[in-house]
Structures are given as C-alpha cells and as structure tokens.
Amino acid sequence: MLSYCQMKKILYIILMCLTPVIAMAQNEGEQKIIQKISKAAQSMASMQCDFVQTKHMKLLNDNMVSYGKMYYQQSSKLRWEYTSPYTYTFILNDSKVLLKKGNRNDVIDVNQNKMFKEIARMMMNSVVGKCLTDKKDFKISVAETPEQYVATLLPQKKDMKQMFSKIILYVNKRQLTIAKVEMQEKKGDNTVIELKNIQLNKNINASTFAIN
C-alpha cells in the first residue's frame, strides 16, 4: 500500500481536479470569477472524464506518465482510477473510502480517519460553494486568458505547505470545469494532470462507486 505521504499527495491531487477554488479571492473581479465557477460546480450533478498525469522528478530529471479515469456524483461519491501503467483505485462513497490495489482492498471509515475526513470536508465544501468564505486553506489570485481562467493557490495550512509551494488551476471558460492542474512541490518535483473527454451530468452506474 502507498505510504501516508504518497496517499496525501494523491488525495490532494484528486481534490484539486474536482474543485476549482478553496479560498476567498483578493479583489472584486476575482470574486466574480470564483462565484461564476462555484455556481457551475453547485449545478453539476455528475462528471466523468479521462486524465493524464505527468510527474517530473527533479532528482532523476525524468517524467513518469500515468493514465486513468475519474467519476464524480454530487455530493459525496467519487472514483479516481489509475489504469496505466499501473492500476490503483480510490473510491469515496458517503462516509466510506475504498483503496484498491491488485488483490488488496482496504475500506476506511472517513469519520474515523483525520486525513480522509479533512479531504472529504474540503471537497464537499468546495462543491457546494462554502469555499467562498474559507480563508484557511489557500490564498488565491486569478488571471484570465481568452480560453481559460488561471488560479494560483498558495497553501496556508502547515501540512500542505510542507508538500506544495503552489498549485495552479486552469479552468475551461466554456464548461467552467478544471482542464489542468499543476502542483509544484517543495522539493522541486512537479505534477501536472490534464482532464480530457469531460462529460457533465450523464448517468453513472451505481456500481462505479461500490465499496466492496
């Protein structure tokens, strides 16, 4: 099973791909953009997509590329699945989490695990719009290009500061969903996840989120 630190990084990556903003903007213009994105998130009943994750390791001067699928159903069901070059699945279904690697399945009660409870809190608060009044997690600045909103998040909490120097989110203007996430780590490593073939508000089979 993955180490505690590796698991935290994966969970934060999942969170960033799903939720556009986790903090209060610095000025009125930024607030309007964030409110627009958050309103779209609140109306999103479901989301499914493919993703490509590229991790650049400074020490080895090399890239590791992996592929997978993500499924989300409001407001407490999520499946994040790596399919190549290895298989690993994370499923959140209400208060239960399933970690699946090979023949090993681990089921965790969110209410009994501080790390998973915090991840679930951040994810759900963001999806339902409560993040607009939460200044504890990040300081945020927002820029705009013809096709994207670009939000730069500076971690404020100690555990995130130890892992990441900053996180950059690229939001598709047309769909108002995350198109790409860049997470710059303290040690110089860099992880980029691109979301592709995004489908919104499509029916997802209940078995996708089964904890078994």
Per-residue DSSP letter, 133: G
How many other CB atoms are there within 10 angstroms of residue 69's CB atom?
16
Q: Residue 22's pLDDT band (boundaries 50, 70, 90)?
A: very low
Residue that wins the pLDDT comparison between 139 and 198: 198
Cβ contacts of 106 within 8 Å, gap of 6 or more: 1, 98, 99, 100
* Interaxial angle between packed helices 114-127 and 4-18, expressed in degrees from 0 to 180 and rounded to the nearest 10: 10
Distance, in Å, from the CA atom of 142 to the CA atom of 35, rounded to the nearest integer, reads: 12
SS3 of the chain: helix, strand, coil, percent, to 5 = 30, 45, 25
Q: Are 80 and 89 in contact (CB under 8 A)?
A: yes
Q: What is the pLDDT of residues 62-72, one digit of tens each?
A: 789 999 999 98
Q: Residue 206's pLDDT band (boundaries 50, 70, 90)?
A: very high
Q: What structural domains does the chain harbor? A: 4-209 (2.50.20.10)
Nearest to 169 by CA among 21, 2, 6, 4: 21
Q: Residue 188's pLDDT band (boundaries 50, 70, 90)?
A: confident
- In the predicted model, what is the mean pLDDT of the chain? 79
Q: Measure CA 155 to chain center.
A: 14
Q: Are 52 and 193 in contact (CB under 8 A)?
A: yes
Q: What is the pLDDT of residues 151-179, one digit of tens each?
A: 888 888 787 788 889 888 888 888 888 88
